[in-house]
């Protein structure tokens, strides 16, 4: 099984890198885990709606170039469906049972995801209405993926 994160921008803080590296190492017993970073579009601090749309579209094209037709795609979106850790674990288990061996999670840039990326996604997932830094979201998502595998393995990690 392959689990991939496609994310906009580079991870800068060492403590986020260390946390993600730890969960990636733990995940290696369950799957091949990878993170693909696509460049964020440089833009001025204040943007018109047309400029924002252009940034989102350019980042969206970069994201879509990293996703194949065979991948089952989760788009992280505030308006996506919230799931409990147990529901998420069951979903991952069912995906693998029904032949989805390539699961991809997409985290957009600071302006969000393009309509094309949201359309390509098989499902949208939300971690609530909080606004979180994208770098922190990578860590939270990686931990939740690990937690899902641990729940499915019957491990007491989740308790």
- Cα–Cα distance for residue pair 4/37, rounded to 1 Å: 11
- For 36-62, write each residue's pLDDT tens digit: 999 999 888 889 999 999 999 999 999
Phi, psi of 104 (to 5 degrees): -125, 135
- For 72-118, write each residue's pLDDT tens digit: 999 999 999 999 999 999 999 999 999 999 999 999 998 999 999 99
Q: Which residue has the tokens 């946390």?
A: 19
What pTM was estimated for this model as a whole?
0.96
As annotated, the binding site for S-adenosyl-L-methionine includes 76, 108
Fold designation for 2-40+52-154: Alpha/beta knot (3.40.1280)
**In contact, 40 and 6? CB cutoff 8 Å:** no
As annotated, the binding site includes 76, 108
* Domain extent listing, the chain: 2-40+52-154
Beta bridge partners of 126: 82
- For 13-31, write each residue's pLDDT tens digit: 999 999 999 999 999 999 9
pLDDT of residue 132: 86
> Residue 131: which pLDDT band, with cuts at 50, 70 and 90?
confident
The enclosing H or E element of 7 equals strand 2-8
Ordered alpha helix ranges (H), 32-133: 49-64, 85-97, 115-120
**In contact, 134 and 107? CB cutoff 8 Å:** yes
- Cα–Cα distance for residue pair 127/135, rounded to 1 Å: 14
């Amino acid at each position: 099984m392959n689990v991939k994160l496609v994310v906009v921008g580079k991870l800068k803080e060492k403590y986020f890198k260390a946390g993600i590296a730890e969960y990636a190492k733990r995940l290696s017993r369950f799957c091949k885990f990878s993170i693909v970073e696509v460049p964020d579009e440089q833009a001025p601090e204040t943007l018109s709606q047309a400029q924002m749309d252009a940034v989102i579209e350019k980042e969206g094209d970069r994201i879509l170039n990293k996703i194949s037709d065979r991948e089952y795609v989760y788009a992280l979106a505030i308006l996506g469906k919230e799931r409990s850790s147990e529901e998420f674990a069951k979903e991952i288990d069912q995906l693998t049972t029904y032949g989805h061996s390539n699961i991809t999670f997409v985290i957009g840039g600071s302006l969000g995801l393009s309509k094309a990326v949201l359309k390509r996604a098989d499902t949208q997932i939300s971690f609530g209405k909080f606004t979180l830094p994208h770098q922190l979201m990578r860590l939270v998502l990686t931990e939740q993926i690990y937690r899902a595998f641990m729940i499915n393995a019957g491990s007491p990690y989740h308790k």
